[in-house]
Amino acid sequence: MGGRGPRPGHRPARDQRQPGLLLSRTPLRTEGGDRLVSQPATTRDVPDESPAPAEGPAPAEGPGPAEGPGPAAEAPLVTVTDLEIRFPGGPVLLPPVSLAVRPREITALTGASGSGKTTLLRALIGHLPPGATVSAGTLDVLGHDPSTLPAPALRELRRTRVAYVGQDPGSALNPRMKVRRLVAETATDAGDEAILALLRECRLPTNAGLVDRRPTALSGGQQRRVALARALARTPDILLLDEPTAGLDRALRDGIAELLRDLAAARGLAVVMACHDPELVAACADREVRLPVPGREPRGPRPRTQPRTPPSEPSAPVTAEGITARGISVGFRHRGRVQHALETVDFTARPGSATGIVGPSGSGKTTLLRVLAGLHRPDSGSLALDGESIGSAVRGRSRQHHRRIQLVPQNPLGTLNPSQTVGAALARPLRLFRTVAKRQVPDRVVELLEQVELPADFTCRHPAELSGGQRQRVAIARALAADPDFLLCDEITSALDQDTATAVMELLQRLRAERDMAVALVSHELHLVAAYTDTVHVLEEGRLAGHGPTAELISSW
């Protein structure tokens, strides 16, 4: 077979109950393989890194009828043939691509930000950006073309057979509903034990009050796993995942990779995931389909920046103290119990410094940034800017404080006005904080886009017309438009390919040198933390577990 099969210890599931489709236990591919992707997209089978079996006769599969010269492949659940998607008279969102997705198989869509990975996933559920159309090719999902299905049939397809977890799952979770109800809402078995089992399967704790929290009380990684539990609760045939491990630490990423392999093998699921994480692709994907960016030649790899030598201590006393937090505590209360997100945490970022904030998913990293930005009022503790106390809530701060402290959120979709163009979103802080003259605003907008490697014509696009990585870069550009002194970055590279992530970090490093801007970087990408920060704060279960030079702490964490 061209890809890896179920891992040792997993027994193939019996034929699955699927209306109109019977899943057999035949192997995944014919001996000769299939033509999956036409140029310019490329495809490859991901090699299985498990040890090769010892030489000798192969073990028997079990009793069954004799077969011919080669086993037949299972019928594809998804067939895409030369599919192209674009805006009429406008840009191409997805260049021509072909692929076939089979049961018990994981297909990884890779490529640079803006190559059409999210667009392809959305096409599979019949939910293209407004105005986008299929300009060429065909699409078949479980015997139907989602783009031509009537609304009731399309809702039924999404509700029962195809599950989709977007790149920004937090925006799809009802903020008024608690986790238990969110999962039960889509479950075929809404019993309490079944719900808890699903949450545990998605590597979420069930004994710490999480089931009774609302999405706003969860970390980005926890929101992502709750959304995955909701998707699995409907027992779909096809599972579509957009950046399933973005914002997750290494241990959870490895756990999700194992979970996806288990789901594909035991449930007979066909999994398609858009992914920038090469380690995740190597760990669990059977096939990789690489998409090129429409209208752009592939770039060569950028040299990885080596860890910088921390700046020497100045001989004169430092007068500007930067942003400081002392004794910050945040707790979430439920039925008389308090779950601490932060416990007496201290934080300092001096002008021109680069500080990393690392720790497991759910350790309080995002909560700390939101406290610094004034978006979450702490239960106790104090905040200061250059030695002067500042309000713990954004409404208690001056406009100058707002300009000086800017937050780039982990999930930008919920913070970009869907009715505003990118140009309008970037022009607003320029006018609000008057960082440039009025006549210079259009030129500055184009300059900001160029800094984050987006073309000038993006000024006319709306957020729904952008990929997740492109929205992330717009959010970075919007924060830079305020000309901040302190930039708080929450997983800003998690939705970016390696080249673009490196370019963004190089940009921030240059701005630090030119403007003495401080950067606080929350990230699970430890190689970026090591390369682009001087000091690091390590959070574990809401407590500050360590603080010091990056070179000393990051290697031992």
Per residue in 152-165, pLDDT (tens digit) is 999 999 999 999 99
Least confident range from 104-113, 293-302, 383-392: namely: 293-302
Backbone angle region of 453, left / alpha / beta, with phi > 0 → left and psi within -120 to 50 → alpha: left
What ranges in 452-515 are assigned the alpha helix state H? 468-481, 498-515
CA distance 231 to 238: 10
User: What's the domain count of the chain?
Assistant: 2
pLDDT at 181 over 90: yes
Distance separating alpha carbons of residues 290 and 270, to the nearest angstrom: 18
Between 258-267, 311-320, 461-470, the lowest mean confidence (pLDDT) is in 311-320
Phi-psi region of 483 (alpha: psi -120 to 50; beta: other; left: phi over 0): left
Residue 15 inside a domain? The answer is no
**Six-digit token pair at 433?**
């904080």
Please state the rounded mean pLDDT for residues 330-343: 82
Percent of the chain with pLDDT over 70: 81
Mean pLDDT of 330-348: 85
Task: Evaluate if residue 380 carries a pLDDT over 50.
Answer: yes
Greater model confidence, 47 or 518 = 518
Question: Does 543 lie in the same domain as 416?
Answer: yes
Whether the pLDDT of residue 56 is over 70: the answer is no
Query: For the segment 322-334, what is each residue's pLDDT rounded down to a tens digit?
Result: 999 999 999 987 6
Query: Pairing mode, if any, of strands 380-385 and 323-334?
Result: antiparallel
Segment 109-134 mean pLDDT? 91
131 and 248 in a single domain? The answer is yes
Report residue 479 as tokens: 């924060």
| Tens of pLDDT, residues 224-271 | 889 999 999 999 999 999 988 887 888 888 888 898 998 899 889 999
Q: Which residues contact 193 (CB under 8 A, 6 or more apart)?
A: none
- One domain, residues 261 and 350: no
User: Which pLDDT belongs to residue 83?
Assistant: 95
pLDDT of 220: 77
Residue 469 and residue 529 in one domain: yes
Burial of 122 (0-12, 13-18, 19+ CB in 10 A): buried
Helix axes 250-267, 220-233, angle to 10 degrees: 10
**Does residue 244 lie in a domain region?**
yes
Residue 4, pLDDT score: 44
What's the whole-number mean pLDDT along residues 100-125? 93
Q: Any idea what the Cα angle at residue 73 is, between residues 202 and 103, rounded to 5°?
A: 15
At residue 408's C-alpha, the angle toward residues 403 and 409, to 5°, is 130
User: According to the model, what pLDDT value does residue 293 have?
Assistant: 76
What confidence score (pLDDT) does residue 171 get? Answer: 78
pLDDT, greater one: 253 or 139: 139
Query: Which secondary-structure segment (H or E) carries 442?
Result: helix 441-451
Residue 233 lies in a domain: yes
State whether 229 and 371 are in the same domain.
no
User: What is the model's pTM?
Assistant: 0.71
Average pLDDT of 410-423?
87
CA torsion angle 177 180 183 186 (round to 10): -80
pLDDT for 151 beyond 90: yes
- Contact yes or no for 107/269 (Cβ under 8 A): no
- Tell me what the mean pLDDT of segment 377-399 comes to: 93
Buried b (16+ CB within 10 A) or exposed e, 459-480: bebbbebbbbbbbbbbbbbbbb
Question: Do the domain assignments include residue 234?
Answer: yes
User: What pLDDT, on a 0 to 100 scale, did the predictor assign at position 295?
Assistant: 61
149 and 247 in a single domain? The answer is yes
How sure is the predictor about 472, in pLDDT bands with cuts at 50, 70 and 90?
A: confident
If asked whether residues 358 and 271 sit together in one domain, one would say no
Return the pLDDT at 89.
82
Q: Which two tokens stand for residue 45?
A: 């089978």
- Alpha-carbon distance of 322 to 390, in angstroms, equals 12
- pLDDT surpasses 90 at 346: yes
Indicate whether 56 belongs to any domain: no
Measured N-to-C along each axis, helices 441-451 and 422-433 cross at an angle, to the nearest 10 degrees, of 120
Is 302 inside any structural domain? no
Q: Which has the minimum average pLDDT: 2-16, 227-241, 534-548?
A: 2-16
Residue 95, phi then psi, degrees to nearest 5: -70, 165
Residue 522 sits in the same domain as residue 458: yes
Mean pLDDT lowest among 305-309, 458-462, 471-475, 478-482: 305-309
Considering the domain boundaries, does residue 277 fall inside one?
yes
Indicate whether 149 and 255 sit together in one domain: yes
Q: Do the Cβ atoms of 196 and 187 come closer than 8 Å?
A: no
**Cβ–Cβ under 8 Å, residues 477 and 451:** yes
Residue 180's pLDDT band (cuts 50, 70, 90) = very high
Lowest average pLDDT, out of 241-245, 370-374, 404-408, goes to 241-245
What band does 123 get if pLDDT is binned at 50, 70 and 90?
A: very high
Do 517 and 454 fall within a single domain? yes
Contact yes or no for 282/530 (Cβ under 8 A): no
- Residue 205 is part of which domain span? 78-290
CATH number for the domain spanning 479: value is 3.40.50.300
Q: Tell me: do 153 and 247 sit in the same domain.
A: yes
pLDDT band at 71 (very low <50, low <70, confident <90, very high): very low
Q: Contact, 445 vs 454, CB < 8 A? A: no
pLDDT score recorded for residue 334: 66
Residue 249 lies in a domain: yes
pLDDT at 511: 86
Q: What is the pLDDT of residue 42?
A: 66
φ/ψ of residue 257, rounded to 5: -60, -45
Q: 22 pLDDT exceeds 70?
A: no
**How crowded is residue 333: how many other Cβ atoms within 10 Å of its Cβ?**
11
Residues 354 and 283 in one domain: no
Place of tokens 């970390």: 219
- In the chain, DSSP finds a helix count (H) and a strand count (E) of 15, 19
Amino acid identity, position 529: V
Q: What is the mean pLDDT of residues 115-134?
A: 92
Q: Which structure tokens are listed for 320?
A: 């500007």
